[in-house]
């Protein structure tokens, strides 16, 4: 039995697709806990912040536009906004250094910010923006925050992946589309596979230091993440009704925001996951490992393969210039 076969065993948690983020918290009080939620100023991230803060956690929300984030988060107690652009390595280092200087332990890191199916964009390094934002930025951020995660003596890193991962694994030879034609959906898919693989290897390295990692598919939800999608894209994902309006029919399986944030909250807080990690979750449960040609739910093997995860880790260190040694203090 392989690592992935063993770990990807559903718990039959008692929750499901209709579970909300508040229900996933299962009445737990989070007083004394510190969280950071990237992407926490809109969509699923905002609901995740609302629920965590409402249960007593202190939450930092990194944002490219702090003023806009402040407005979105107004009225939420225990929440602070700091500047961060995941495409800017120096900004990541500055954000992390300021947090570490505060002396706080970090109990929960939710890596939720991202791009989806954007036109071809490149950062200052020439890196494709979806891979750079969704994966490399979070890789560097997690590395820089590692001392605070270890300090918590029981932390969780939650990587928001997607069912989109099933369209493609990570192209380790050409992840930035330098030698092949750009495909926005394949670029998105490989970034989401990267999120899942990052959790696999981070958990392997971090478990001995009481830092566990999880990835998840939140469900199909209409949030600001769809801003780059045109009518054909929206039709492809089942978001249009018969009249061509953005109004997913009941049979489409779309969730509302409260339901969409549930699995991230469950991964971040549930006692059902104590002693576990390195798994891909959906609908507030560990997802099954399925064949690569499957069209249903579950995690594809290329997104749960420990050998691929180790190769991606090495490539990520090379691309970011960040040597990420979880054993270091």
As annotated, the active-site residues are 188
Which strand (E) or helix (H) includes residue 310? Answer: helix 306-320
> SS in 3 state form for 90-116?
HHHHHHHHHHHHCCCCCCEEEECCCCC
The Cα–Cα gap between 31 and 58 comes to 8
DSSP H helices, 117-183, are: 129-131, 138-144, 146-151
Is residue 265 within 8 A of residue 52, CB to CB? The reply is yes
Sign of CA dihedral 135, 141, 147, 148: negative
The Cα–Cα gap between 20 and 260 comes to 7
Is residue 113 within 8 A of residue 49, CB to CB? The reply is no
DSSP letter, residue 246: B
The Cα–Cα gap between 198 and 268 comes to 16
C-alpha triplet 110, 111, 115: angle, nearest 5°: 140
């Amino acid at each position: 039995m392989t690592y992935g076969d063993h770990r990807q065993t559903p718990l039959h948690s008692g929750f499901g697709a209709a579970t909300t983020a508040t229900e996933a918290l299962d009445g737990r009080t989070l007083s004394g806990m510190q969280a950071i939620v990237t992407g926490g100023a809109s969509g699923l991230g905002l609901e995740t912040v609302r629920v965590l803060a409402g249960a007593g956690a202190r939450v930092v929300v990194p944002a490219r536009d702090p003023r806009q984030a402040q407005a979105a988060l107004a009225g939420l107690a225990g929440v602070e906004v700091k500047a961060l652009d995941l495409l800017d390595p120096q900004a990541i280092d500055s954000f992390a250094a300021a947090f570490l200087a505060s002396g706080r332990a970090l109990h929960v890191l939710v890596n939720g910010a991202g791009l989806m199916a954007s036109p071809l964009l490149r950062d200052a390094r020439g890196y494709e923006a979806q891979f750079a934002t969704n994966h490399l930025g979070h890789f560097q951020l997690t590395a820089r925050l590692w001392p605070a995660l270890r300090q918590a003596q029981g932390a969780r890193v939650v990587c928001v992946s997607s069912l989109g991962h099933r369209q493609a694994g990570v192209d380790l030879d050409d992840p930035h589309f330098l030698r092949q034609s750009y495909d926005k959906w394949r670029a998105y898919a490989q970034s989401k596979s990267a999120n899942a693989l990052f959790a696999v290897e981070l958990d392997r390295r971090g478990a001995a230091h009481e830092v566990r990692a999880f990835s998840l598919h939140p469900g199909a939800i209409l949030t600001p993440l769809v801003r780059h999608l045109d009518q054909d894209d929206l039709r492809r994902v089942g978001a249009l009704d018969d009249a061509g309006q953005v109004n997913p029919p009941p049979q489409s399986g779309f969730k509302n925001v409260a339901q969409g944030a549930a699995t991230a909250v469950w991964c971040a807080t549930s006692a059902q996951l104590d002693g576990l990690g390195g798994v891909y979750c959906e609908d507030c449960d560990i997802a099954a490992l399925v064949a690569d040609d499957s069209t249903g739910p579950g995690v594809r093997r290329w997104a749960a393969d420990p050998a691929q995860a180790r190769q991606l880790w090495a490539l990520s260190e090379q691309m970011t210039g960040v040597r990420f040694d979880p054993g270091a203090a």
